[in-house]
Amino acid sequence: MRSSRIRRLTHLAVAAAVGLVTIVQILRPAVNQDVRYVLGALATTGAAGQSWIEVWAHRPLVARGTIALFDALSPGEFLVEETLLRAWSVALAAGAAVVLWRGLVRRVDRAAAGWSALAVGAALAWAPGWDFAEPEWYAAALAVAAIGLAVGWRRGPIGAGVLLGLVVAMKYTTVTTALAALLIVLALDRSRGLATALVTAASTVIVLAGAVLVSPHEWQWLRDMPLLNPGFRFTAVPQVIEGMVNSLVVSPITIVALVAIVGLLLRGGQGARLGLLAVAILALLVAPFMIQQQNFLYHLSALPVAAAGLVAALAARSPVLPIGLPLAGLLGLVGGVGLFALGPRTRDQNWWIADIVIAVALAAGLIALLIQLRRGMPAAQGAERPARRSRGLTLIALACLAPLVVTLSPRTAYSFSLAHNRVTAGDNHAQAEAGPDRRARAHAALPGNTPVVYLSFSAPYWLGYPTPCRYASPTFLQRAVGARAEAVAQSPSFSENLACLDDQAARAVVVEPGWFDVDRVRPEVRSALERNFDCADPAYADDGWLICRRR
């Protein structure tokens, strides 16, 4: 009776803590620069009468539609809009976790299913700032729901296959997220996994074909988009390794997953097979980051989600209470918070410090686990087993959840030593609060209903001028430099983007010199800018932007 009461109080305390952290994560961080980029592109083209279906936002149709949907449900501007968008996205994550629990509870014991779903839901809701609401993040949320659907409902494989088709179309590189989800379903139920795979293949073809039919430009952008990326280079491997180190600092839950996997592999038999499955899943989720070589941490958005689920699902059934997991989790949490307490300049020049912290957390967790495996201590014997088992699951849940709260630290930035390593949740929140004033200053110089063309990444969101150009952000003009210049310049998208500068409907141009370097772009771009707009005497020059009227 007493143990039952303690168990209920423990569960209530964990639930209350999870709820409180989730509320903080909705209200405090705002959204990142990439989400604002998409919101700005959709808003400024929409103000000129264009649909999200037909405009460029460096995101496939399904991703644009997802943001458009959540934006439509989020009235208001800047901080209000961003907070509502976060709330709706967290609701999606919570729904996915519930669906996962509903599916797992039929396959594993109730407690293990509950902790696994809780860990996965928390990993989504408390995601690092650079991950949250990115296409990869939404793909991970849909994949979580697909796993639960596939194994928990009679006709679940149909719905799961449709969701995984959307996962593939969300970013195309997210095909690995769909494959990882299919591996998990196959491990839980082979026949349902095969059925889900067949539906996924069919729905992927249907979604992609439908996207091209609805928006003919989608096929053009699918062919042109790879030109914007550097592609795989062996010389960039050291930078990619630095990126992986950054990922472990921002999301130390992955360190805990690695400890759990090693423990399974060393155990042999069924444990080793589960460990190999976990290795395959993590390898799939890391592959897009390794191949794209851009060191954007949101390319790894699904990794901490899978890590949290794997720790709870695999380690919860261990015959040994896995003390190494909470130990690695605690050290990862303390190490992550401590590393971000260092100044950005120190982190820029000494990212090897993170190697030491990660190595210590891994080593401590593995040593503790190996000692237990060597002694072969059972979790519990006889009548004590249920209570001891419950306490063990609680430890595992805390091991999953504790490292995830690195994102709560006010010093935690989007990365440790990569891009945006000076941007924190507080910075983003302050930017959103200052949004109305920034817009008002620009609109005092040029009326807010003036059609413009943008040569900027951030200005569409902050300034809100309508644009008749399909390319609210000139990615193709900006990236036609260096080794990629000729290939990008030969693309139809570059020509269309360039033509926007000659469009007389645009009465001004907004240039962001810090992002769009006029001295580096191709001569035809510079010539079109100088021919059409007077930037020698800008109407506005503040906040990092120039607004130049048409000649």
Q: Tell me the pLDDT tens digit for each residue of 205-229.
A: 999 999 999 999 999 999 999 898 8
- Does residue 124 contact residue 305 with C-beta atoms inside 8 Å? yes
What is residue 400's predicted lDDT score, i.e. its pLDDT?
64
pLDDT 10s digits, 346-399:
887 777 889 999 999 999 999 998 888 777 654 433 334 444 455 556 666 666
**What amino acid is encoded at 183 in this protein?**
L
Cα(472)–Cα(190) distance, integer angstroms: 46
The Cα angle at residue 79 between residues 75 and 80, in degrees rounded to 5? 30
**φ/ψ bin of 269: left (φ > 0), alpha (ψ from -120 to 50), beta (otherwise):** left
CB-based contacts of 444-447 (< 8 A; 24+ apart in sequence): 445/539, 445/540, 445/547, 446/508, 446/539, 446/540, 446/547, 446/549
- Residues 484, 476: contact at Cβ < 8 Å? no
The pLDDT value recorded for residue 321 is 63
Half-sphere exposure (Cβ direction) of 215: Cα atoms closer than 13 Å: 22
Look at residue 6 and give its three-state secondary structure.
Answer: helix
- Please tell me the predicted confidence (pLDDT) of residue 393: 60
Q: Give the Cα separation of 339 and 298 in Å (integer).
A: 20
pLDDT of residue 158: 96
Which amino acid belongs to residue 470? R
Read off φ and ψ for residue 510, nearest 5 degrees. -110, 120
Question: What is the CA angle 354-357-361, rounded to 5?
Answer: 140
Beta bridge partners of 541: 546
Partners of residue 405 on adjacent β-strands: none
pLDDT confidence of residue 395: 63
Cα-only R_g, the chain: 25
Whether 62 and 211 have beta carbons less than 8 Å apart is answered as yes
251, HSE (Cβ side, Cα atoms, 13 Å):
28
Alpha-helical regions (H) of 28-125: 33-47, 61-72, 79-104, 110-125
The pLDDT of residue 507 is: 96
pLDDT tens, the chain, 551 aa long: 566 776 677 767 777 888 888 898 888 888 999 999 999 999 999 999 999 999 999 999 999 999 999 999 999 899 999 999 999 999 999 999 999 999 999 888 787 788 889 889 999 999 999 999 999 999 999 999 999 999 999 899 999 999 999 999 999 999 999 999 999 999 999 999 999 999 999 999 999 999 999 999 999 999 999 898 877 777 777 888 888 999 999 999 999 999 989 888 887 788 788 889 999 999 999 999 998 888 899 999 999 999 998 887 766 666 556 788 888 989 999 999 999 988 888 887 777 889 999 999 999 999 998 888 777 654 433 334 444 455 556 666 666 678 888 988 888 999 998 888 889 999 999 999 999 999 999 999 999 999 999 999 999 999 999 999 999 989 999 999 988 889 999 999 999 999 999 999 999 999 999 999 999 999 999 999 999 999 999 999 999 999 999 99
Specify the pLDDT at position 431. Answer: 94
The residue type of 61 is L
d(CA 108, CA 303): 23
- Phi and psi dihedrals of 391, rounded to 5? -65, -35
Nearest to 113 by CA among 309, 305, 347, 272: 309
For 293, left (φ over 0), alpha (ψ -120 to 50), or beta?
left
pLDDT in the model for residue 311:
84
Which helix H or strand E contains 509, and what residues bound it? Answer: strand 508-511
Q: DSSP per residue over 104-165, as a string?
A: HTTTS-HHHHHHHHHHHHHHHHT--TTTTTSHHHHHHHHHHHHHHHHHHSTTHHHHHHHHHH
Contact 105, 113 (CB under 8 A): yes
pLDDT for the residue numbered 381: 39
pLDDT at 238: 82
Task: Look at residues 109, 196, 121, 207 and name the one whose alpha carbon lies nearest to residue 153.
Answer: 196
Q: Cα separation of 247 and 539, whole Å? A: 42
Q: Which helix H or strand E contains 392, and what residues bound it?
A: helix 385-401
Q: CA torsion, points 416, 417, 419, 425, in degrees to nearest 10?
A: 30
Which region holds residue 488: left if phi is over 0, alpha if psi is between -120 and 50, else beta?
alpha
- Report the relative pairing of strands 508-511 and 452-455 from DSSP bridges: parallel
535 burial via Cβ count (<10 Å: 0-12, 13-18, 19+): middle
Long-range contacts of 98-103 (CB under 8 A, 24+ apart): 98/148, 99/144, 99/145, 99/148, 99/149, 99/152, 100/144, 100/145, 100/147, 100/148, 101/148, 102/148, 102/152, 103/147, 103/148, 103/149, 103/150, 103/151, 103/152, 103/153, 103/156
Q: φ, ψ for residue 504 (rounded to 5)?
A: -65, -15
Can you give the pLDDT at residue 380? 39
509 φ, ψ (degrees, to nearest 5): -125, 140
